[in-house]
């Protein structure tokens, strides 16, 4: 394995981890009854943004790890 492949795998793992954390945050935001989650004001359509970004990061990270 060369350095470029190692870097892509590491970056893919980091992206997948960040995507997973964002999806978990989105789940907590969807299930919360009040408008603040962990000190952040999350209400209405703002609950969808972390889920979409999490899915994008997770898919791109997993595909980056699988491709190398």
Cα distances (Å, whole numbers) of residue 58 to 15, 32, 55? 6, 23, 5
- Rounded to whole angstroms, how far apart are CA atoms 10 and 64? 9
56: how many CB neighbours lie within 10 A of its CB? 13
61 burial level (CB within 10 Å; 0-12, 13-18, 19+): buried
Q: What is the pLDDT of residues 7-62, one digit of tens each?
A: 999 999 999 999 999 999 999 888 888 888 888 888 877 888 999 999 999 999 99
β-strand pairing of 36-37 with 40-41: antiparallel
The pTM (predicted TM-score) of the whole model is 0.84
């Amino acid at each position: 394995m060369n350095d470029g492949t190692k870097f892509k795998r590491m970056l893919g793992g980091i992206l997948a981890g960040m995507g997973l954390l964002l999806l978990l945050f989105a789940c907590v935001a969807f299930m919360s009854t009040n408008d603040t989650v962990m000190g952040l004001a999350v209400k209405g359509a703002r609950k969808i943004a972390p889920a979409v970004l999490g899915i994008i990061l997770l898919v791109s990270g997993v595909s980056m790890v699988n491709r190398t």
